[in-house]
Amino acid sequence: MLDAKELERYARHIVLREVGGPGQAKLKAARVLVIGAGGLGAPVLLYLAAAGCGALGVVDDDSVSLSNLQRQVIHATPDIGMRKVDSAEAAIARLNPHVAVETHMTRLTAANALELISKYDIVADGSDNFATRYLVADACYFAGKPLVTAAVGTFDGSLTTLRAHEMRADGTRNPTYRCLFPEPPPAGTVPACAEAGILGALPGILGSMMALEVIREIVGFGEGLVGRLLMVDARSMRFETLSYAWDPGNPLSGEHSTIKDLSIHK
């Protein structure tokens, strides 16, 4: 049940026919795990907290540095040197005291991924490297959890939703992350953010869209991004959507799958 203050706080949601009181109650009951409290994770956490998600798990093993503040808007100058999970927790508490924050000051690994993910209803991956994205996607498949995942470059970004553990209405499987990106790029071919740079507002756009997709998945309305990759080009302000499908040859859920657990992630 929503109390009087919550009814006022979420009034603009509740008047939406697609959300209403039942949808807001779903948000209050939801447990969302956010991987990374950086450029993407910051707006995800802020907007999910503002929306009234009942519990937010935050996974990050880093501390706030001055160079983060150009884009990681959940942190502020006085937070420099703090653990990012603690800085994020404090910001969320200021924004919405109705939201419980569960901090995980750790790096996601094959050893802890399934245990962490199994405690939540949905995962939002804002990690900044390919190894973690593949690990999170594989772990969500094995744990049977939906995943909203995004990535950003210097002036571009992409976003999709995965329900690889479920079937489509026509009886075919939903695609996996490996159906979309069969292999990560060779090591060293994609420069890190510190080397290539990044337009600060861009992860804000993609992170906000991640939050919107998580909210939509929880409440259950509209056409989401399962089987669709949304691509953003910030140079020309172009938005394009690419459709993709289950690949029977993919090694995770394919007809002759070779990935049976997370042991491939070292």
pLDDT of 266 over the 80 cut: no
Distance (Å, whole) CA 11 – CA 74: 24
- From first CA to last CA, the distance across the chain in angstroms is 44
Kindly state the tokens that stand for 215. 């909210």
In the chain, the number of structural domains is 1
Pairing of strands 122-125, 31-35: parallel
In this predicted structure, what is the pLDDT of residue 188? 66
pLDDT digits (tens, 9 = 90+) for 55-64: 999 999 999 9
pLDDT of 264 over the 80 cut: yes
Percentage above 70 pLDDT, the chain: 97
In this predicted structure, what is the pLDDT of residue 183? 86
Residue 199 or residue 187, greater confidence? 199
Distance (Å, whole) CA 156 – CA 235: 8
C-alpha distances in angstroms, 231 versus 56, 84, 183? Answer: 26, 28, 19
Mean pLDDT of 133-155: 97
pTM as predicted: 0.96
Q: For position 252, which CATH number holds?
A: 3.40.50.720
Reported confidence tier of residue 169, pLDDT bands at 50, 70, 90: confident
Question: From the CB of residue 121, how many other CB atoms can be counted at a distance below 10 Å?
Answer: 18
Domain residues for the domain of 80 are 4-264
